[in-house]
Structure 1
Amino acid sequence: MLNDNQLSEPLVSVIIPTYNRPEYLKHAIASAVKQTYQNIEIIISDNCSAENPLPIVESFADPRIRFWRHPQNIGMIANQMHGFKIARGKYVASLHDDDMWNADFLAKLVPPLEANPDLILAFCDQYIIDAKGNINYPATEENTRGFKRHKLAPGVYQSFTKIGLIDKSIPTAAACVIRASLVDWNKIPAEVGGMWDLYLTYLCSISGYGAYYSPERLTRYRVHEQTDTILSGSHDAQAKIRKAKSELFCYQTLMSDPKLQEFKSYFHHKWLEANTTLGIGLIRNKQKDAARPYLWQALSQQKLNLRTLAALALTFIL
């Protein structure tokens, strides 16, 4: 039971989409249940996993958990959005089924949002862990620096377009709490795919509201063989194709937005890179004719790019 002080705290909806990761899911749920910030609902949305995770969910015997199992696989983005759309909290936070939160994650990020109604989100830094849950300290530091969070001072950023969309410092999908009433979840289309977090950052950044940053590492992002970023960077052609199509849609949207014209050249460059990536993915999937137009597109709108040129040449050789 929650005490009076906890009941006076605003409800936070923790969204855990899951698919075929029962062992990792246990740890994700446990990290949500153990939050020192107690007034939460935990929404677990199962995308028709081969093994029904209901027994895992029931083992926690926590009345704050709401479980939903789709009768068929509806796709990653639809499963994720389902959780957001049925959330009842003043704030929402996404927790991947293979990640974990420190016990004070919500306790550290909700108060700044409560103290300042002009903020739409609060985010933090994160640890990188391996498949067994061990912290990889070199990878953690590389992650912090790669997303330029080491350069961010703690506190409020009234404008965070560059931080969110160029530096990609805001881990919206894994280490962020969002004011739910300021986001129209129906405005995140299926075409964004695995780039839904960047698209959500985009919607937040053009809202006119600010962001709060805590440099503490309050979450643990797991890197393992099923991690999407690893799959899309490997020889998995389908993963590469999915990622590239998502990037094409997102960067086309960003470079077309009049509010973001300051960064249009950057988004155009990323869009061209996505054309090349999609072309390479299609070649690996033995669809060289389908690949050729994307590679021509990329080659015709930029200076000579050897990666694109080599891929295009392969479509005539293979």
Structure 2
Amino acid sequence: MAESSPLVSVIVACYNHAQYIEACLSSILRQTYPAIELIVIDDGSKDASVEVISALAKQHNFYFEAQANIGLSATLNKGIEIAKGEYIITFGSDDIMMLDRIEKQVAHMQANPDLGLCGGNMLKINEHGTILSRQKVNGEDRLNFEDVLLGRKEGTPAPTLFFRKEALEKAGGFHPEIKLEDLYIELKISSLGYPIGYMNDILAYYRVHPNNTYKNYRYMIDNVLRTYEEFSDHPDYWQAYYKFLNSMFVKCAPKDKPLARELLKQIPLREYRMKTLKGIGRLLFG
């Protein structure tokens, strides 16, 4: 290992992704960056994930453990305890890395030693690996806590997150009771004063399939609001809370009218916005 190549620990928590995990791990094993520690933990998969990973672990000699299901955040925290790297990546077992991703992110973090984490752009692919549509690419930027809480700037996507281990440990790792781990950890690390870096590079492919959690609106709402509760002492808490409720109300109105009605009841008149009125129109006429 070259002295100029700090160790990067990549933690992959797998759950029922037998059809995707080989492509995911192959993209990590083929990285252009030389100093990588790969840690794979299967969190109680009921499909053939364990068999697929076991065969790859024997071939490539990376750390692999299969365990009873304890949840994503707890599994990632277990991986962090094992990790020896100066930097840490937590990566979805259904996603794929660009082959020079780690090389680029190490260079960015080395050039910006104040950053707690960085991320960048991604492309969406379907179950078969086909790019879905042309997507906007955001330029280089920096985000602080309020940027993330209020959505003032484009947030760093989960498949591209790259952590300074020091910052991740000061944050106490991921919250074991919050199942959408990326928003919480970005808020927690930035609340400690670490800026978040946004790179203009495309760093990963995000796989869209029927089981993506973002498609489950109630799951999203419960976990995002639970995340915001952790920062309820911040003066912008209620602004962020109602901004999110309005946004989800608009999304739910044409697709899940019972849930949309629940959300509308939680939004007081003083917090109505153009989005609220648009959602009401969709609820009544959509």
TM-score range, shorter chain: 0.7 to 0.9
Partner of 2:93: 97
Measure the CA separation in 1 of the matches of 2:266 and 2:131.
42
Report if aligned partners of 1:172, 1:198 keep a CA contact under 8 Å in 2.
no
Report if aligned partners of 1:15, 1:92 keep a CA contact under 8 Å in 2.
yes
Q: 2:242 aligns with which of 259, 263, 269?
A: 269
Report if aligned partners of 1:170, 1:176 keep a CA contact under 8 Å in 2.
no
- In the TM superposition, what whole-angstrom CA distance separates every residue of 1:250-277 from its partner, at most 9, and x where no partner exists? 22333x233xx3x445313135449969
1:1-318 equivalences in 2 (<5 Å): 4-5=1-2, 8-60=4-56, 61-63=59-61, 65-71=62-68, 73-138=69-134, 140-141=135-136, 144=137, 149=138, 152=139, 154=140, 157=142, 159-165=143-149, 166-167=151-152, 169-184=154-169, 186=172, 188-194=174-180, 196-229=181-214, 231-232=215-216, 240-254=217-231, 256-258=232-234, 261=235, 263-270=236-243, 272-273=245-246, 296-299=265-268, 302-303=271-272, 305=276
CA-CA distance at 1:112 after TM superposition: 2.1
Paired residue type of 2:191: I
CA-CA distance at 1:131 after TM superposition: 1.3
Q: What secondary structure does 1:46 align onto?
A: strand
Report if aligned partners of 1:12, 1:89 keep a CA contact under 8 Å in 2.
yes
Paired residue type of 2:29: V
Structure showing the higher helix proportion among its residues: 1
Q: 1:135 to 1:275 in 2, by over 3 A?
A: closer
Q: What secondary structure does 1:31 align onto?
A: helix
Q: What secondary structure does 1:16 align onto?
A: strand
Q: What secondary structure does 1:189 align onto?
A: coil
CA RMSD of aligned residues (A): 3.3
Paired residue type of 2:103: A
Partner of 1:288: none
Paired residue type of 1:221: Y
Measure the CA separation in 2 of the matches of 1:84 and 1:36.
23
CA-CA distance at 1:109 after TM superposition: 0.7
Q: What secondary structure does 1:216 align onto?
A: strand
Measure the CA separation in 2 of the matches of 1:66 and 1:281.
42
Paired residue type of 2:42: D
CA-CA distance at 1:24 after TM superposition: 0.5
Report if aligned partners of 2:173, 2:185 keep a CA contact under 8 Å in 1.
no
- Could you tell me which runs of 5 or more consecutive residues in structure 2 were left unpaired when the two chains were aligned: none
CA-CA distance at 1:172 after TM superposition: 4.9
Measure the CA separation in 2 of the matches of 1:208 and 1:201.
11
CA-CA distance at 1:162 after TM superposition: 4.6
Higher RCO (CA < 8 A, seq sep 6+)? 2
CA-CA distance at 1:17 after TM superposition: 1.1
TM-score, length of structure 2 as denominator length: 0.81
Q: 1:49 to 1:243 in 2, by over 3 A?
A: same
CA-CA distance at 1:90 after TM superposition: 0.8
Measure the CA separation in 2 of the matches of 1:21 and 1:54.
10
Measure the CA separation in 2 of the matches of 1:222 and 1:310.
29
Q: What secondary structure does 1:112 align onto?
A: helix
Q: 1:214 to 1:297 in 2, by over 3 A?
A: closer
TM-score, length of structure 1 as denominator length: 0.74
